[in-house]
Every structure is written in C-alpha cells, then in structure tokens.
Amino acid sequence: MVASYVGENKEFARQYLSGELEVELVPQGTLAEKIRSGGAGIPAFYTHTGIGTLVETGGIPIKYAKNGDVEIFSQPHCTGVFDGKRYVMEESISGDYALVKAWKADELGNLVFRASANNFNAPMATAGKVTIVEAEEIVPVGELKPDQIHIPGIHVHRIIKCEKNEKKIEKLTVRQDQAGEAGLPAAMQKRIRIIKRAAREFKDGMYANLGIGMPMLASNYIDPGITVYLQSENGVLGLGPFPTRSEVDPDLINAGKETVTVLQGGSFFSSDVSFGMIRGNRIDMLVLGGMEVSQTGDLANWIVPGKMVKGMGGAVDLVSASGTRVVVTMDHCSKDGSPKILKRCTLPLTGVECVNRIITDMCVFDVVPGKGLLLRELASGCSVDQVRAATGCEFTVASDVAETY
C-alpha cells in the first residue's frame, strides 16, 4: 500500500507495525502529484520535497518482521540539480481501478464535487484504467453547467447511485467559548497559551497553513482587525473558525478531518492544485507541531520508528517550500521531562534547516542561519536559567528578552 497519512487508524498502525502490511509512506503532495502525473501519462517528475531526509536517502520502514525488526526499507531516490538546487525524482502512479466519490454526476460521467470533498477524488478519477464513481445524485445530461464540471466524463467508466448517503464525521469540532477556557485541564490551557502566542505571528493579508492538532487552534485567536487567508492541504483556501453546532457540514473539513467554516471569498480545489500552491511558494507562513527541533532548524514530527506511525501528511511538502516561513509550536519537554529542542534530532527528519521560529510553553526561539538558536521571548513565570536547563543544546540570549505571553 502506498499512503501518506493514516492518522489515528489504530488497526492500520497495528498491521503495519506487526508486519502484516507493507506500506510505502510518501509525502502527501508528492502522492497527489504521483497520481495526477500518472493520469496525465507522465512517468516521473522531480520535486524538492524530501531533500535531505529519508525520502531522498532511503531507509523508511516498509515492512516489519513479527519481532519488530525491519525487513524492507525504502530505497534511495535518484536526484537531479536544476538551477543549482537539488531535487528528487518520483515515479508516477496509475491503477487498474480508481474508486471515486462525487456529489453529482450526469449520464455522460461528468462529475461535480462538493466543498472539501474534492481533495484526492479529482486526480484519482483520471489515474485509473477503469474509474468507478459513486455519486450522491445522477442527473440528466445538460443539468450540470459546463463551467461547473470538475472532471469531464472522458475519464469515467461506471457510475453507481449512492443508496445510503450517510456521512460520518470523524472529528466533530465546534467553536470553544473563550470564557470557558479557565475550566479546561491544565494541559489544554498550556496548549492554548502556546497557540495564542503563535497567533501573534499572523500579519494582515497573509496566506498561511496550519498543521494538524494544536496549530489549527490558532484560527480561533487571529486578531479581528486583520485578514488572514488560511489554506488547508485537502483543498480549501479561506478557512474560518471552527463552526457552531448549527454550522457543521460533513463535506467541509480541514486536513485533520475536523469540521470547519469558510470565510467569504474562500475557495475549494483538488489536492494536487493545493500542493502546487505550496511547492510554488504561495504560502507565506506555516504553523505546525514538532516532536524534535535541532539547533540548526531541522524538524522531526512524523514518526517514531517501531512505536508510532501517522505518516508524513503534508508537512514534508510544506517545509520544503523555501519561500514559506516555518513556525513550530510544541511543548518544550517530553512527558518524561527530556528536552525536545536538541543539538541534533534523533528521529527521522521532516525537513532540513527549515524552521524559522520555535514557540513553546516556556519561550520563543529564533533559528539564526549559521549561528543557531536565539532566545527572543519568555513565557510568564519562566527564567533564562529554567529554559537553559530544559533545552538540549546551547543558545544565545537576545539583549531585550522579556516575558511577553
């Protein structure tokens, strides 16, 4: 199986880690482009995504033995240099069958997707020798306007009417009343303090992407006096706050499968288009979580080999965009008290020298190219000595460092 993000699918993780399932994990944007290119008859392409990580060098576990040893590792990728920049070569994907879900289909096979349900459906529909579509509604030819069709019928071979259109919501997420934050558990209050500080990074008119988990909370704390256009990898631009219960729409979710809203002027598109925006440096800033960050800005946040696997998702693509500012939000230490900011990362890397700023429950660090970490700000109640004791590498202290959040 070729996959990118398996999330909280415990059965999938069990089968993978026990050796019952062979899994090739790839960055999500790369997967979208593999499928799009396969459907377009392009055998391979070059991308900067994954340079300097196991994506390039090989070594990602594909199959485990029953005793926990790795039986099969991924192989090194071919690389090329264009305009002085290194890229990895990725082979495209096409399938014997493509299974697609559409909102509407006409009798010629023209397809329309609704809201964020476009995602991988559009490129997938073009990449199968036989494309089978389950449609919520099949309409007569002519009812779909030509300029509203997402996938033309030339790609579609069979259409099935959806008889039971039950839409399950994996992560029903509704707006939290900020007045009720005081009653939340201490761990959640700590996360909110981190994300409130991260929300101060937003600037008016900025295009930004928020990672799964804690970073996504930042959408609830954007200064109401500015406009920020939030992008989600699954094909949404213009994300708003989490919905009220009356606003919940099962076809409107973010990349973390949480229910969301969309602001006026927002738009929907397929996953391959979404990652084209990302690789093309259209996103000004990225906020994402981290398991480890090194003093030079290396980031690890997608796997603990042999123990935890969620997949790369879109993070490897996002941090590979050289024009995107990368802000990492994380607890300063692990649950056992060990530092998560280190001289060198011990976990497989998401990106190399990609992080610009680190915001934790204790402080704010800037990554200064060629010099290392600079302590910029302190959280309320934290001292420089406490930060130094909780950090696994050296850093310098800004002359004006002070408690700011």
**CA–CA separation, 198 and 393 (whole Å):** 23
Neighbouring C-alpha atoms within 13 Å toward the C-beta of 279: 21
**CA torsion, ordered 212, 329, 59, 320, to nearest 10 deg:** 80
313 touches 233 (CB < 8 A): yes
* 82 strand-pairing partners: 85
38 touches 93 (CB < 8 A): yes
Q: Which of 355, 362, 367 is nearest to 388 (CA)?
A: 362
CB atoms within 10 A of CB 177: 7
Edge-first strand order for the sheet with 325-329 is 262-268, 236-239, 229-232, 207-210, 285-289, 325-329, 357-359, 363-368, 372-378, 396-397
Instruction: Decide if 233 is catalytic.
Output: yes
CA 174 to chain centre: 20
Out of 233, 258, 292, 377, the active site residue is 233
- Which helix (H) or strand (E) segment holds residue 132: the answer is strand 128-139
**CA–CA separation, 262 and 18 (whole Å):** 41
* 134 strand-pairing partners: 101, 160
3-state secondary structure of 178: helix
**CA–CA separation, 17 and 69 (whole Å):** 10
Angle between helices 28-39 and 271-279 (to 10 degrees): 120
* Catalytic residue ranges: 233
